[in-house]
Amino acid sequence: MKSISATLAIALIVLALPTTVVAQTGEGKLHWKLRVSETRGPIRTADMSAPSGNAALSEILGGPTNGSENAYLIYTRMAAGAHGPALFTLPVEDDYVVLSGKMSVQIGTDKFLAGPYTAVIIPANTPHAVWNAEADPEAHFEVISSANPHKDLSRDLMSMLRPAHATKVENAATCIREIKIVAASDLKPGLNAQTWTDLARGSPIQIRLDSALQGNGNTKTHVHLFEQVYFGTEGDMGLTYGLEGLTVKRGDIAIIPPGVVHANAVTTAVERHITLLLPQPPAGSGPLDIEFERKSRDGGGGINP
């Protein structure tokens, strides 16, 4: 009985430890310290604390098992000297946005250094790896998706990674895209969008940075036929989500499935957020925003198109 109790105790300790996911194939092993967010509901907050030692810590804020049907949405913190998975490929596109610090990235045989508000667009089946060779911590937001995510995305992310060799990638430098931030003094009424990848640029999804002044980034109540995601990078944005009134702050991600009635309103002097359309609908497929009108019970009740 004592040996059985000891075995059970050891098993419980192992289950309580943080999850480190390891992919293993015949060619070698890929290590990636991944944690799946347990938060449910439309808004999840990334852990933005500085990592200790030389750790690279990634949190899946949304994915096929926790809220996003169309992408893996990952926030990663890398301490000085930290390294993500060794050179690997994915069968789908892998997109990064550096938020703070500097991220080293290898694409094929070429290496680059990406600073804050630099995007890195990695096409499917392209060998790549990222790490932090600098003295300061680095943080980035990552999106893994495709034009047909229900077919292409596994519920087991690590099963999609494949070890790769450093082979030449033509025009690798075009994968690095600087995002030009519009200064507060230059912001115009409405949303000021800087798009760095979309269908026109060969990507199945649209990723852009939206910036607005207080009262100028408001939208009417509407729905989409696609999944939309916001990731807050500066200021606060009010979000009407169905019948709820929420706030998207810096480090928050809001996942809005198709058909969910929503609207947004800027509540601070300057607000910026990354917007994703997953996947982006092709031109001519209809309006992106389908407006809805709210009515009180006295006016007939409900939300009517």
Q: Which two tokens stand for residue 203?
A: 């990507």
Cis peptide before 163 (omega within 30 of 0): no
Buried b (16+ CB within 10 A) or exposed e, 189-209: eebbebebbebeeebbbbbbb
Q: Which two tokens stand for residue 101?
A: 């610090």
Instruction: Answer whether residue 249 shows pLDDT above 60.
Output: yes
Say whether both 172 and 195 belong to one domain.
no
Query: In the structure, what pLDDT confidence band is assigned to residue 256 with cuts at 50, 70 and 90?
Result: very high
What domain range is 206 assigned to? 184-304
Instruction: Answer whether residue 2 shows pLDDT above 80.
Output: no
Last residue of a domain, one of 178, 194, 212: 178
Say whether both 164 and 18 belong to one domain.
yes
Q: What is the pLDDT of residues 42-66, one digit of tens each?
A: 999 999 999 989 999 999 999 999 9
**Mean predicted confidence (pLDDT) in 93-105:** 98
∠ CA 226-228-232, rounded to 5°:
175
Say whether both 160 and 230 belong to one domain.
no
Say whether both 216 and 119 belong to one domain.
no
Last residue of a domain, one of 155, 178, 201: 178
Say whether both 9 and 132 belong to one domain.
yes
* Mean pLDDT, the chain, whole residue set: 89
Last residue of a domain, one of 159, 178, 197: 178
Judged by average pLDDT, the poorest of 10-19, 177-186, 251-260, 295-304 is: 10-19
Say whether both 166 and 97 belong to one domain.
yes
Say whether both 105 and 76 belong to one domain.
yes
Say whether both 93 and 147 belong to one domain.
yes
Residue, of 267 and 114, whose pLDDT is higher: 114
For residue 138, the tally of other CB atoms under 10 A from its CB is 27
Give the pLDDT score at 46.
Answer: 97
Domain count, the chain: 2
**For residues 266 and 212, is the Cβ–Cβ distance under 8 A?**
yes
**For residues 304 and 296, is the Cβ–Cβ distance under 8 A?**
no
Q: How far is CA 35 from the centre of its chain?
A: 14
Give the pLDDT score at 296.
Answer: 58
Say whether both 105 and 14 belong to one domain.
yes
Cis peptide before 279 (omega within 30 of 0): yes
Residues 6+ apart with CB under 8 A from 65: 36, 155
CATH number of residue 30's parent domain: 2.60.120.10
Q: Which two tokens stand for residue 299?
A: 């006016």
- Pairing of β 138-145 and β 71-78: antiparallel
**For residues 272 and 209, is the Cβ–Cβ distance under 8 A?**
yes
Q: What is the pLDDT of residues 136-180, one digit of tens each?
A: 999 999 999 999 999 999 999 999 999 999 999 999 999 999 999
Say whether both 123 and 23 belong to one domain.
yes
Ramachandran angles phi, psi of 298, nearest 5°? -65, -25
Say whether both 31 and 165 belong to one domain.
yes
Say whether both 172 and 294 belong to one domain.
no
Q: Which two tokens stand for residue 159?
A: 């099963």
